[in-house]
Structure 1
Amino acid sequence: MLNETIVAISSAIGEGAIGIIRMSGDESLDILKKMFSPNASFENRKMYYGEIKKDDQVLDEVMAVYMKGPKTYTKEDIVEIYCHGGIISIKRVLDYILELGVRMAEPGEFTQRAFLNGRLDLSQAEAVMDLISAKTEKGFDLAYNQLEGSLSHKIGNVRQKLLKVVGHLEVCIDYPEEDIEDMTYDEIEKSFSEVKDELTLLLDHSDNGRIIREGIKIAIIGKPNVGKSSLLNALLREARAIVTDVAGTTRDIIEEHLNIQGIPIRIIDTAGIRDTEDQVEKIGVERSKEIFNEADMILFVLNANEKLSDEDRQLIDLVSDKKSIIIINKMDLETKIEWEHIEETFSNHSIIKTSLLKDEGIMNVEKAIVDMVYDGDISSSNDQLLSNSRHIQAVKAARTSIENALNATKDRMPYDFIEVDTLDCLESLGKVTGETVESDIVKQIFGQFCLGK
């Protein structure tokens, strides 16, 4: 309930210099005064030094600050107490606050109150969690721009255009005898075309935004001993996987995270895919096949020093229809691979020559990954990117509705027909910012937040 005072630990659990406890609600200041020694007036936004006492027992030496609403994160009165870092000190103070009748906050409840009290819209609230979980600087910048309202402003402008049209349509529908013609079919068509173009622009770069936010899953595939583990080590800039001349060294998947030019990547070195009687290796091969099917992108490694084997050709058939980069490794040795067949089969793929033993070609592999992720276009500014899958689906639905409204306008359909699709578009856009989203969706979104945020 919004009128209840809530409390949570807002710093990471564990040992550290400082631990932060946050309260929000009308009783925050009264609760602080009951615990804090010596007595203090607690002027707005002024830090105070003292102790938290329960009866005559000192629970911890702290700093505390009171922030008067509505100019706070939740638009309510907020108290923050800065304890010594560590589980015991924070827990002692928190337990005492709970004894005084304050309720433990649910995950994301501080940000949820900011949303419900009108400080943030839903897209900005979701950006808070994206800021916390960002794995790259580009991901952080994208989330920060969204928190600052770049997406909200864009959606708000589109909605205002539609509301202007709806207002005209409703007047014409309700008062047909007045013969109101202040907005013609041509003018409505122009407005709808502009809205469609703006939504299309957002969607055109949505894959880029989603990738910056969520990252991509890349699988390294190839038969044993072609250099898959060497490729992983080269991309990571460390010896993460065991590399030997013995085929089948990698018997299980190895998963790591890396950042290539702002793209968060889960990269997986798989066991070589081949027929084997070794039971342990066979399990690894089956898992490799599962990873292959789930991956967003494949790095397919071949040995330049060998002619294509039956195993290679089977993998070529699998990879040719997949979003893949072909890596011809061991170029420092005599070239025996059938180049013409490779170039013909993978004419629409990037083919990169490497000698991972000599650390040659790895930069070209990274560039090929970036080019494939962005389809050669990495110029989009962060304020034009949709990144959240929920937002993308809502904007797609909005574009479908405005296309229907536009077609109805071109066919000079009655105004009430046009209004139905226009209102559907407004509702879909409202789901992005929270005006029309269902309460259970709101609860689900904030349930993904950490405690204390």
Structure 2
Amino acid sequence: MYLEDTIAAIGTPVGEGGIGIIRVSGPDVPAIARRIVRRVNENGDFVSHRFYYGTVVDPESGDTVDEVMAVLMRAPRSFTREDVLEIQCHGGYLVARRVLDAVLQCGARPAEPGEFTRRAFLNGRIDLVQAEAVIDVIRSKTDVALNLAQHQREGRLSERLKAVQGCLRHSLALVEAFIDFPDDEVDPASRVEIEAKAREASGRIEELLEGFDEGRVLRDGVSVLIAGKPNVGKSSLLNTLLQEKRAIVTSVPGTTRDIIEEVVNVRGLPLRMLDTAGIRETEDVVEQEGVRLTLEKIPQADLILFVLDGSRPFDDDDRMILAALAERRVIVVTNKSDLPVTLRIPGELEGVRAVAISTATGAGIDDLRKAVFETFIHGRAIDSREYVALSQTRHRDALVKARGRIAVFFANLAAGNNLEILAVDLRDALDAVGEVTGETTPDDILELIFQRFCIGK
């Protein structure tokens, strides 16, 4: 990345729309604005952060490209902390492309994926956690996931990480003070303070790590597979959760032959619901393929809804499915609770959470939603304005590394090892936390992070 040049990109999705936005950032922005934006009834230079009505013209021919609104934002009061120009033209790929072409003819180059956000990071406007949160905001699937991403974008997770860094730096400063004065031994009070601050850092890291599983599933969602023999109500359950008729429901066994996937929002938790073929012994070649696909998907799912027919006894087909669910996370769903119950749950399922429902009447569906939610979210107020959690594996791995280095520090401290070794341990822990916030993140990791962004963001 060359921060000395000027970049430009279309910032709105491809296709027809009410508006198209072209973003330009870099040192040539004021000159580009003067060259291609013809303002109506305006003289003099552009005033920062003021919208102007006018037209964009071709810089070579002078022909009008489109009627626009344009705003120039002077550094450092912009997203990238560089001079930024945003041009709002009519929606549609062709007209937006022509406006972009006019900008590029003035010397700007096409932006790479995520380059605007990367410049904001490199110019110190945001840290790496906040930069990554931008893409999470865009990709959020539920209100709760959006709130979590917004909290990270606003810097609330960064504040927690800065508190960890503050504790580690405090301990390191004390250790280094005694290194600078080798004739002085570490007095008991200073040793207590060094250890206390390191333990506080370790505790704060542990608290963040404890919330990772919840943060991850809120960000990425979980896959929930509906399994059961034919005609127990799997497709009806999917339709009920979706509140629309997505899967075909008939009284003919084996209607569902392929895997149907849909996204369901359960209390802010995104679920990728997989409705599968009924599992049973069959001579039908197509149905056999559906059963094979279902059995392949079971180990890949985060949760299995094992649907049983409450009006029928537990049989060999149910037992075949049960054998495939070994070591899996399961909720037993007994359907058709509106009919006389003849099912007896086998002993192998004792202790497994079970919910009785009726897809015909809707009874028990809220209880099922609650059971699924509580499988992944354990009593935390995820809709609170104060809710902050780790949600990315990269962050988790770096903090696990930091926790490990602090543990080594305590071992060396207890063993009475020299101060230089203790300082190295604390610096390593600080570097690991810095990988999350961006201070010590390797360049190849930065490349991978920003490649996930769309062009124009």
When normalised by structure 1's length, the TM-score is 0.96
Tell me if 1:13 matches 2:14: yes
Q: 1:379 to 1:114 in 2, by over 3 A?
A: closer
Identity of aligned residues (%): 42
CA contact (8 A) 1:185 1:412 kept: no
Cα deviation for residue 113 of structure 1 reads 0.2
Deviations 1:363-412 (A, max 9, x none): 11101011111134446855431111111111111112112212322333
Tell me if 1:352 matches 2:355: yes
CA contact (8 A) 1:298 1:324 kept: yes
In the TM superposition, 1:26-425 aligns within 5 A as: 26-38=27-39, 40=43, 41-54=45-58, 55-179=61-185, 181=187, 184-339=190-345, 341=346, 344-378=347-381, 381=384, 383-425=387-429
What secondary structure sits across from 2:341 in the alignment?
coil
State the AA in 1 paired with 2:10.
I
Once residues 429 and 208 of structure 1 are traced to their aligned partners in structure 2, the CA distance between those partners, rounded to angstroms, is 20
CA contact (8 A) 2:152 2:388 kept: no
Deviations 1:77-127 (A, max 9, x none): 000000011112111111122122210000000000000001010000001
> What is the aligned residue count?
450
One of 432, 435, 438 as aligned partner of 1:434: 438
The answer for unaligned runs of 5 or more in structure 1 is none
The answer for unaligned runs of 5 or more in structure 2 is none
Once residues 441 and 320 of structure 1 are traced to their aligned partners in structure 2, the CA distance between those partners, rounded to angstroms, is 38
Segment of structure 1 superposing worse, 186-195 or 35-44: 35-44
Deviations 1:209-242 (A, max 9, x none): 1111111111001111111001101100111100
CA contact (8 A) 1:189 1:410 kept: no
Once residues 170 and 338 of structure 1 are traced to their aligned partners in structure 2, the CA distance between those partners, rounded to angstroms, is 68
What secondary structure sits across from 1:370 in the alignment?
helix
Q: 1:442 to 1:67 in 2, by over 3 A?
A: same
CA contact (8 A) 1:219 1:299 kept: yes
Segment of structure 1 superposing worse, 102-111 or 84-93: 84-93
What secondary structure sits across from 1:176 in the alignment?
coil
State the AA in 2 paired with 1:253.
I
Once residues 171 and 110 of structure 2 are traced to their aligned partners in structure 1, the CA distance between those partners, rounded to angstroms, is 46
CA contact (8 A) 1:188 1:409 kept: no
Q: 1:348 to 1:425 in 2, by over 3 A?
A: farther
Q: 1:62 to 1:407 in 2, by over 3 A?
A: same
CA contact (8 A) 2:170 2:197 kept: no
State the AA in 1 paired with 2:456.
G
Once residues 130 and 112 of structure 2 are traced to their aligned partners in structure 1, the CA distance between those partners, rounded to angstroms, is 19
What secondary structure sits across from 1:384 in the alignment?
coil
Once residues 42 and 68 of structure 1 are traced to their aligned partners in structure 2, the CA distance between those partners, rounded to angstroms, is 10
Cα deviation for residue 283 of structure 1 reads 1.7
Once residues 59 and 159 of structure 1 are traced to their aligned partners in structure 2, the CA distance between those partners, rounded to angstroms, is 52
CA contact (8 A) 1:202 1:386 kept: yes
Deviations 1:5-53 (A, max 9, x none): 0000111111111100000001011112111224742111111111111
What secondary structure sits across from 1:321 in the alignment?
coil
State the AA in 2 paired with 1:364.
D
Cα deviation for residue 334 of structure 1 reads 2.5
Once residues 329 and 302 of structure 1 are traced to their aligned partners in structure 2, the CA distance between those partners, rounded to angstroms, is 6
Segment of structure 1 superposing worse, 75-84 or 378-387: 378-387
CA contact (8 A) 1:218 1:296 kept: yes
Deviations 1:231-264 (A, max 9, x none): 1011001111001111100000000011110101
Aligned Cα root-mean-square deviation (Å): 1.6
CA contact (8 A) 1:185 1:409 kept: no
Once residues 365 and 373 of structure 1 are traced to their aligned partners in structure 2, the CA distance between those partners, rounded to angstroms, is 13
CA contact (8 A) 1:21 1:82 kept: yes
CA contact (8 A) 1:150 1:383 kept: no
Once residues 379 and 131 of structure 2 are traced to their aligned partners in structure 1, the CA distance between those partners, rounded to angstroms, is 32
Once residues 31 and 383 of structure 2 are traced to their aligned partners in structure 1, the CA distance between those partners, rounded to angstroms, is 50
Segment of structure 1 superposing worse, 244-253 or 359-368: 359-368
CA contact (8 A) 1:151 1:383 kept: no
What secondary structure sits across from 1:358 in the alignment?
coil
Tell me if 1:451 matches 2:455: yes
Once residues 37 and 177 of structure 2 are traced to their aligned partners in structure 1, the CA distance between those partners, rounded to angstroms, is 61
Once residues 433 and 100 of structure 1 are traced to their aligned partners in structure 2, the CA distance between those partners, rounded to angstroms, is 36
CA contact (8 A) 2:48 2:74 kept: yes
What secondary structure sits across from 1:37 in the alignment?
strand
CA contact (8 A) 1:205 1:380 kept: no
Once residues 268 and 421 of structure 1 are traced to their aligned partners in structure 2, the CA distance between those partners, rounded to angstroms, is 47
Deviations 1:401-425 (A, max 9, x none): 1122123223333222322322221
Once residues 375 and 222 of structure 1 are traced to their aligned partners in structure 2, the CA distance between those partners, rounded to angstroms, is 27
When normalised by structure 2's length, the TM-score is 0.95
Q: 1:377 to 1:142 in 2, by over 3 A?
A: closer
